[in-house]
Amino acid sequence: MSIAYAHYLIPIVQDLDFVASTDDVERLIRELENAGWLDPAQDSYQLRHYQGTGRAKESVSRDDLAPAIKRAIAAGQHVVADLSVREPAEPAVDTFSSAPAGTALGPQQCWAAEIILCHRLCTLCQDSESSATLLCPSCRNDLLSAGDRSGAPWDDVAIEFEGQLDRCANCGDVASPRAVLGQSRSASDGSLREESAPLFRFALRVWSDAPPDDPAVTDPAVLEALRAATGKAFRAVGRWC
């Protein structure tokens, strides 16, 4: 069975408060083009806007990308910009999963890439293959279990943490984002691992078939592109859909 894998690159926990500017977005697109990830001929972008239970789309030119993002964020919307991956691979069962362990996720394995900008702190969407949780620092209750997220299109991209999930339904404490821990169960062997909670306001997300590693190994060129564009270090977190 083929599984779609979403590889999120988010700022490290020390830079949890990082909010990307439109200049950062434009620099990242240029850096990814120079790294061979994106098609430099792309001159228009699909933007998806999310607010509450609403979702809208618009197509904008390269010149209009930054102003469109600014308008959306100012209106309290989350925004996703679809990018054109250079030489995308044909989706095929086990193409990437059969590669040797340690093989980096490159553009030849991906069929989509997106820049995600959030107007408030968010966490990753839930997945179909592992049980991810966010643990309250005070009582270790699962903060994700309390939210009623039915019918919100944004939940396919991310889940609002700030003002939604940060108050624990069990003990009543408001969790400091940096103190929250995450747990995720490996889709490959079922092991449970604890990590810093995957919280962010800005992310790069790329899609592929199931990778040989969990999470996939990130192409160093992508990490360098993110650092060069934003001045921040990023880490990888995977989700299975």
Read off the pLDDT of residues 62-72 as tens digits, 9 standing for 90 and up: 999 999 999 99
Tell me which residue range forms the domain holding 173.
5-240
Give 138 or 149, the one with higher predicted confidence. 138
| Residue from 229, 233, 230 nearest 31 by CA | 229
Work out how many domains the chain is built from and give that number: 1
User: How far, in Å, CA of 148 to CA of 13, rounded?
Assistant: 26
**Residue 99 burial by CB count (10 A; 0-12/13-18/19+): exposed, middle or buried?**
middle
Task: Look up residue 120 and give its two tokens.
Answer: 């408030």
Give 152's pLDDT tier (boundaries 50, 70, 90): low
What pLDDT score was predicted for residue 190?
67
Give dist(CA 59, CA 45) in Å, integer: 6
| Residue 147 confidence (pLDDT) above 70 | no
**211 versus 93: which is more confidently predicted?**
211
Query: Burial letters for 199-233: b for 16+ Cβ neighbours within 10 Å, e otherwise?
Result: bbbbbbbbbbbbbbbbbbbbbebbbebbeebbebe
Distance, CA of 198 to CA of 196 (rounded, Å): 6
51-61 residue pLDDT tens = 887 889 999 99
At residue 1, does pLDDT exceed 60? Answer: no
Contacts with 34 (C-beta within 8 Å, 6 or more apart), sequence order = 225
